[in-house]
Amino acid sequence: MSNDKTHNLAIGYLLWIFGFMGAHRFYYGKPVSGTIYFFTLGLFFIGWFVDLFLIPGLDREADISYTPGPVGYNAAWLLLTFLGVFGIHRFYLGKWLTGLLYLCTGGLLLMGVIYDYWTLNGQISEVNSAR
């Protein structure tokens, strides 16, 4: 168990504001429930409200599950959430070719952005493990 924090509670709550679309769930490595939230508006806003109290536990779990390192999870998630269609998060991860591809294709017509919502934590862990 590492004492290094990979995820930030304040970022989790910021994404919770958009949580009825699953943003905080994806951030904390819960892609299945994130997708369910996306299609049900946070389980009809009930699950979204309950998550207000669950976020500290999700944050602790994410800190244990993912590899800390020089590439920050918070920066990558904010870039994906707000600029993902331009591939800026991919440039941040050092993935220049796919970053350019996302930039020219609108995140591969948003399908690549959805893929990255599912896999970004693993991609960052992989990059951090290699360094």
The pLDDT score that the predictor gives to residue 3 is: 61
Based on the fold, state whether residues 61 and 2 are members of the same structural domain.
Answer: yes
The predicted-structure confidence for 20-67, as pLDDT tens digits, reads as follows 789 999 999 999 999 999 999 999 999 999 999 999 999 999 999 999
Last residue of one domain, picked from the residues 42, 65, 88: 65
Residues 117/124, Cβ–Cβ less than 8 Å: no
Spatial CA neighbour of 128 closest among 54, 67, 83, 75 = 67
Non-local (6+) Cβ contacts of 109 within 8 A are none
What is the value of pTM for the model shown? 0.90
3-state DSSP call for residue 67? coil
Last residue of one domain, picked from the residues 65, 89, 112: 65
Based on the fold, state whether residues 74 and 57 are members of the same structural domain.
Answer: no
Residues 6/31, Cβ–Cβ less than 8 Å: no
Residues 62/74, Cβ–Cβ less than 8 Å: no
Token digits of residue 21: 């679309």
Residues 75/92, Cβ–Cβ less than 8 Å: yes
Summarize the confidence of residues 84-94 as an average pLDDT. Answer: 97
Check pLDDT > 70 for residue 104: yes
Number of domains in the chain: 2
pLDDT band at 1 (very low <50, low <70, confident <90, very high): very low
